[in-house]
Structure formats: structure tokens, C-alpha cells
Structure 1
Amino acid sequence: MKREPILDCDVLVLGSGAGGLAAAVTAAAQGLRVIVAEKEAVFGGTTAWSGGWMWIPRNPLATRAGIREDIDAPRTYLKHELGAHYDADKVDALLERGPEMVAFFERHTAVRFIDGNRIPDFHTTPGAGAGGRSVCAMPFDGRELGPLIDKLREPLSVTTIKGMALASGQDLAHFYRATRAPKSALYASRRLAAFAWHKLRYGRSMHLVNGNALVARLLKSAADRGVDLRTHAKAIGLMRDAERVTGARVEIDGIVHEIRAARGVVLACGGFPHDPARRAQTFAYTPSGREHWSAAPLCNTGDGIRLGETVG
């Protein structure tokens, strides 16, 4: 296999879901040189197929709406929900840094959020909230991505109307009421007309919602900050200098590149829903690894876990 000259960066991110792109944008915002390597032909991973909602108690959108709560309330809720799996350090990291994360992306990137101020927690256990603990990416006009729109994973077809995705909340509610309420009928008609034009003109919907909007906004932010975004780029091994990971060997369009990362490598490759062997090894209820199937993209095969295992 042909090898090309070494590429250099400060941070190499493997994977392009919300975690990978958020890491890339954050590093680039600090002035670092960043490469994102995505093994698929499109960016977005499972995030692009997801609902896109994030549970972030005490977030700025809730605070601006007058919803204020002490950190002990969501902490108590998680203690009751997680039981023996409760990890105080990780929980506090989420509760303390989550609001800072939302504020950072609002201030420094193209990511904008809608609030979940009327969405309660799932269970009424102690510490549960009646709202104000969730955020989701605001709908996004895909045309703002320019040519990058062609490299954005489209929504999961079965969750759309012939390719038109609906956002939870008022968007979905209007479609439910379209045959009973004139206002909703007008709203649905306008959405359908816009979608028809987008399909005719662009081949896909340009009104992006849910996890697809989150990925699009992160891609826009990454491109704006000069992140080197690569598709068809599969990591085949990590590079080491003694105990330190210094980069990765990445096959890009069939050519192996050594990418040196001065500051570090981020493994943001997702989980292993489509790795039957590891599923069988990990979960007692699926002894063959095939008893349950996942709606995650088929490319989600645990690559990052295997790479991590090679360096301990």
C-alpha cells in the first residue's frame, strides 16, 4: 500500500459525531491545528441520526428563562437513577462543566440551542426536575454549509417523511394537528412546500433539525476555524513514542498517511453496536451478539476501543 509524507497537526480527532467535532472546534478555538479523520464518506456518525437532545441541568437557556436550581437537585436525581453506578467525580464534572460548555459554544461557534424548559425528567424520583434541564441544537439552514452539505450524513429515513425530518416540540405538534387546526394545516403546508423545493433544487432537505442540525452547526464551526476535515480516512493504528501516543496511521482514500499530533489524539469513534463479537463478550443477554440490533450506522464497530486497547 502506498505511503505518503507525514502530516502534522496539534490535535488529531478520529470520528466526527458530536463528541469528535466538539473536541475539534474547542481545540481550534484555542488556536491549535486540528485534523478530523472520518472513515465514512460522510460526517456525523450516530449523532446525525439522533434526536440531538442533551441533558444539561442549570444551562444558560434555563437560567435566562428564570429557572434556577441548586446543583444538589440534579445530583440527587442522578444518585437515585444510577444507584451503584453513581460516580461522584463524573457526575460533578457533568453538572459543573455542562453549563460552561453550552455558554462556550453559544459564544464562540455557530452552535445555537433551543431550550427544553417544559420537558420534565423521565422519572419522578427525588431531585427530578419539571423542566429546564435539556437543550437541543436550533434548526439550521443546510445551505450555510456550502459544499460541505454533501458530506453531511442524511437523517435516518424511517424517522422522516420521505426525507423531511421533524423536530420534537411545536414542529411535530403542528403535523399531528394539521387535519384539525387551520393554523397547523398552514404550518405543515409551508413546511411540505419548502421541502419539495429543496428536494427539487438540492436533492435533500435544507431545513436541518435534531442531531442533524447539531452536526451541521459543528461542521460549520469547524470549517470556519480552519479545521482540516477528512472523509474516507480510517485510522489503522496509533503511533507511540515510549508511553506517549504521538499520532496515528490513517488510510485516506487508499493511501496510508502518518499523522503526527503534537498535543494528542482524540478517540471519538463511538461505541460497538455493530461488533457482534464484542457484544457477545460484554453483554450476558446477547450470547451470540446478534439477539438485539441497533439503529446506529453500520460503521459503528468499535474502532476506537480496539485502537485504545493497543496502547493500554
Structure 2
Amino acid sequence: MNAAGQQDWDEEVDLLIFGAGAAGMTAALVADHEKLKVLLCEKTGMVGGITSTSGGTTWVPGTKLSVEAGVPDSVDDARRFLESVVGARGGDEAREAFLQSGPQAIDELARISDVKFVAAAAHPDYVSGPGAAYGGRALVPAPFDARVLGQAFARVRPPRKEFMGLGGMMVARSDLSALLAPFASLANFRRTLAVLGRYAMDRLRYPRGTQLVMGNALAARLYYSLRKRDIEVCFDTPLVELVRENGRVTGAIVATPGGSRRIGARRGVVLATGGITRHSTLRNQLFPAGARGLSLSPLTHTGDGVDRARHIGANIEDGGDSPGLWMPCSIQRARNGHADDDSVWPHIILDRAKPGLIAVNGRGERFVNESDSYHDFVMGMLRDAQKNGATGPRVPAHLIVDAAFIHEYGLGLLMPGRSAGRIAGFERSGYLVKGNTLAELAAKLQVDAAGLARTVESYNRAAAEGKDPAFERGASPMNRFNGDARQQPNPCIRPIGAGPYYAVTVWPADLACSAGLSGNANGEVLDQAGRVIPGLFACGNDLASIFRGTYPGPGTTLGPAIVFGWRIAKHVARGGAAHETRGAQAVKACA
């Protein structure tokens, strides 16, 4: 909307923010700390967005937390690392701003809010190169006791159902081994009783367990901090239209349960609505055909911010190397046939990196280092499909293991150490495919049997010596970290044994997007000529990735989301994008 005259607003604030994920909530917290009047509008009835359903790891180099963890990291090392990973793909100014501001942003959040991180002493960067870190850069959200939220806990988006046990219990990684083997030791039994007892008490008062970890803990900490500061959050209030006056974005029209409202923004409008992942037009334009069918983002992430910005001339970047950031996922179809009830399992680290697993395509051939990051694994899938002219249903890959692997490590939704009955149940559902011989498995998977036999023979020959000449599996610190240290000389490699054999099929899914709005180092949105659109900002997945389609390490979406939310608030507080609006009325946009 290009308005020629002054606007009559239902409400006026300094900073109007759309989207209550990590980026939007950070911007709101910091802006409030800087004495700005803030209004945060959330399309849904819950905070958290994809932050709530993520692992929550946040990649920020050079923080004090790395020193406290005993693995001091430096911005200079991170700069050298990113130069080697991103190279000449562009975005240098924004990346430098991220590097310089990251430690300050994390430090200030710890001072002014309940957002707390711990640097992982061991959590390697996903790519090897000069300046790569083994630990210190990956920041893990501290667990959070959501009982302090009271009934407002219902406003925190739950994690994926696959990440909860007993219908609503989150489990810390440190507790997983005890819960999987409660009778293995007295310590395991006691810990299991403590975890289950706490969960049972929670369910007397809450819809799910209140001991939160991973991204759910981060989202809840941010929301708790907003509530302590009495920062207004308008739920069920999507962005309808950006209001522009004399070239400047001066506010927005929103839809509320009570009707349409016009909100003025003296300092600017911030878009943090989750990116384009479910915007059907942009998804079809930008995403590879083989990666359009599955997304891990909430159904409501329909690209509202990016879409409204492009209608006033904002530029959309294609994401560089890749428009999406990817995760291989297996799917257990719901018995009722409803796709929304399917169980989708992200294959992060629990199985792919372990020794004795291979991934093959429809020709029965390996195509990638199975122990590489989830993003690089899917990039391998997409490159292989493109090279061989495969799209759509021919894109998926198959993770193949023997029976020993299943019992030792599990596979996808099947956790390790499960009974024969549990395994058979996954077979009956069609999720797990079993073959007494490789030929039988290949037939059931509709994979070339001769190709699979050659692949396993070649793999086993090298694996007997702990080698992988085809893809150098186990060569990087990240590969070895996620493997099994008991397997020597290569923690990621061992031969596949005798049958029976098992497989699950994995598909490309986007966990976030690299494509998004063009922006500068302060998160100001740029038009198609590269000029700033005054009064309009973007962060999180609405802003094009500063890594240009590469995926350097764990948490390289949440790190920039938080840091650019912080930078936008600081820039606005210093006077950036200030202007006067008129006609404001003392009417609240939401209760």
C-alpha cells in the first residue's frame, strides 16, 4: 500500500514485529531494554515457530561461554573458517557484522533476560577447513522448568511429537541412555524413576511435560522473558499488508480476532515470520522439484513477511548454493491415511554416522558420505538425482543396515535395543523394510539388485580395513564425533554383516530456508536495485542466509536469527529508521 497522506492508526508503537520465533522475540526483548515501545504480533496462538521444534543449538563464534566451557574460540578463527566455507559467494559485510556482534548479543541476552546457553565442549563444525572448531561455537539452550509460566505454558508451541515420549515428555540427551536401559544399573533405574515421576506430576496440571530441552527450552525462555518485561504479544494476529508512506514503511494492517486494525510504527517494522518454506509459489519457483514434497516447518509458515515485502518492491535472493537447508527424513504413514498424522523422523546423528550403515539410491549405489551433516547428505541426494535425471518419487534414498546394527543403534523411529515384536511392528506398518537377503531387500525397495550387491561387496572390502576410498567417511572430526568410538580404526565404518537386512527410506525435507529477503548488515530490507526500503527490517528465515546456501555448523540458522534480531533492535534504538507518524489513537491492538 502506498499512502499519499497521513495515516489514522488504531495504535502506534516504536517497533512493530511480526513473528514470535527466536528472531522476533529477541528483537522485542532488546528493543524493550532500549526503552522502545514494542508490539509483537504472532500469526498463531503460540510462540516459538520452528525454534520450538528444532534442536535449539545456536552457532555463535567467539563468546565468553566458550572460555567457560574450556574450549576458547575466537572471532578471527571463525572468520577464516567462513572464508573457506562460503568463499566468494557474497554477503561479506553481513557475515562480518554477525561475527562482530555475536558475542555481544549472547552476553547481553544473558544479562537482561532468562535466555541462557552453555557452550558445547565437543560439537564440531560441520565442514572441515582453516579455523574450524571442535567445540565452543555451538551453544546449547539450558534446560527450562516451564512450571514458572503457569497456564501461559500452553502458549509455547510443543516440539515435534516424535521428540516426545509417553505423549508429551521431552528427554534430555544425558537421560536417554538411562531411559533406554532402565534396568542396566541402579543409577539408570533411579534416574528413570525420577524422570517418569516428574512427568507424571506434570500431567496432573499441564498438557505435557514441563521439563524442556533443545529448541523448546529456548522458545520458552524467550517467552518467559517477554512476560517478565510485560512486552505485549498479540496472538492470532497475522500481517495483512505493509503500509508505505512517501517510500517509507510506516506501519501495517493486521487481522485480529476482533477485525482488521492499523498499527503505526515510528521506528520500523520487523519481519520474522519464518521464511518461505510453505509459500506455494516461491517454493515451486525456488526449490528443486525433488525437495518440494516435505517440510519440517509449521504449517502456518506460508511466507507472509517475504510475500508482503515483495509486493512493495523488496528483492528476494535465491539462497546461493541452495534455497533450502535440508534434513533427510523417514516417514511412518498414519493408519488413518491422513498425512498430517504421519510420523516424520529427522535423521540427525543417531544412525547415519554410525558404523555399518550405508545409503543407496535407486540404482543400489552409494552417493554421499553418510556421516556428513544432514544438510550435506541431502545436497548429495539432490546432486545425485539431478545427475541421473531423477525427480519426484525417484529422489529418495534408502538407509541399509544389518540386524546387529538395528539392535545396537536402532534406525530412525526404531530406538536401539528394541524387542523383536517392536521391530515386527515397524515392518507391518511399512516403515521398516526387511529382507533375508540383499536381493530380497532390493526387490522390496525397488532398487537394482545387482547394483546393491556390488555396492555392499565394494563397501565391505574397504570397511574391513576401516577405509572408505569412495567418500572418505570418518575422515573429518565431525564424522568421527558422531560415530562410535568403540569401532576402530574408523568409528564410522564397519562391514555390513549377514542377513537379515533392514532399510528405511529417507526423503529431502527443508528445516529452514536460505532464500529470503535481501538485507544489509543492520537487517534493513533492500529493494531490487539494492537500495534500503526505509522502515523495513527482516531477520530469522525471512532474511536471506548470510552463509549463502552453505551449512557451516550446528545452529547456523538460530545463531544469525538471534544476532540479527539483536542488531536490528540496537540499530533502531540508535535512531535508525526514526520518523514521525500522526493520527495515533490510544487503542490496543490486542488484549
Whether TM-score is above 0.5 comes out as yes
Residue 239 of structure 1 corresponds to 243
Pick closer, same or farther for the CA change 1:280–1:60 going to 2, 3 Å.
same
Give 1 or 2: higher helix fraction. 1
SS of match in other structure, 1:200 = coil
Letter in 1 for 2:236: H
CA distance in 1, matches of 2:73, 2:225: 31
Find out whether 1:198 has 2:202 as its counterpart.
yes
Find out whether 1:163 has 2:168 as its counterpart.
yes
Residue 282 of structure 1 corresponds to 286
Pick closer, same or farther for the CA change 1:236–1:127 going to 2, 3 Å.
same
The CA RMSD measured in Å over matched residues stands at 1.9
Find out whether 1:302 has 2:303 as its counterpart.
yes
After superposition, residues 104-143 of structure 1 pair within 5 angstroms as 104-143=108-147
Residue 44 of structure 1 corresponds to 48
Deviation at 1:147, TM superposition (A): 3.2
Indicate conservation of the 8 Å contact 1:79/1:86, yes or no: no
CA distance in 2, matches of 1:105, 1:174: 33
Q: How many residues align?
A: 305
Residues 56-94 of structure 1 deviation map (CA, whole Å, 9 limit, x = unaligned): 111121122343344232122222222343532222222
CA distance in 1, matches of 2:137, 2:126: 11
Letter in 2 for 1:78: L
Indicate conservation of the 8 Å contact 1:279/1:286, yes or no: no
CA distance in 2, matches of 1:136, 1:65: 12
Deviation at 1:5, TM superposition (A): 6.6
Indicate conservation of the 8 Å contact 1:58/1:133, yes or no: yes
Deviation at 1:261, TM superposition (A): 1.1
Residue 252 of structure 2 corresponds to 248
State the structure with bigger RCO (CA 8 A, min sep 6), 1 or 2.
Answer: 1
TM-score (norm 2): 0.50
Higher radius of gyration, 1 or 2:
2
Tell me which of 3, 13, 20 is aligned to 1:16: 20
Q: Which runs of 5+ in 2 are unaligned?
A: 1-7, 314-591
After superposition, residues 77-226 of structure 1 pair within 5 angstroms as 77-85=81-89, 87-161=91-165, 162-168=167-173, 170-226=174-230
Residues 153-195 of structure 1 deviation map (CA, whole Å, 9 limit, x = unaligned): 1111111112112234x23344345443432332222111111
Letter in 1 for 2:61: P
CA distance in 2, matches of 1:184, 1:171: 9
Report the more deviating stretch, 125-134 or 12-21. Answer: 125-134
TM-score (norm 1): 0.91
Find out whether 1:59 has 2:60 as its counterpart.
no
The percent of aligned pairs where both chains have the same amino acid is 34
SS of match in other structure, 2:45 = coil
Residues 7-38 of structure 1 deviation map (CA, whole Å, 9 limit, x = unaligned): 12111110000000000001001111111111
CA distance in 2, matches of 1:43, 1:253: 17
Residue 412 of structure 2 corresponds to none
Letter in 1 for 2:195: R
SS of match in other structure, 1:238 = strand
CA distance in 2, matches of 1:69, 1:295: 31
Residue 489 of structure 2 corresponds to none
Letter in 1 for 2:215: G
Deviation at 1:254, TM superposition (A): 4.4
Letter in 2 for 1:125: G
Letter in 1 for 2:306: I
SS of match in other structure, 2:299 = coil
Q: Which runs of 5+ in 1 are unaligned?
A: none
CA distance in 1, matches of 2:178, 2:231: 38
CA distance in 2, matches of 1:83, 1:13: 33
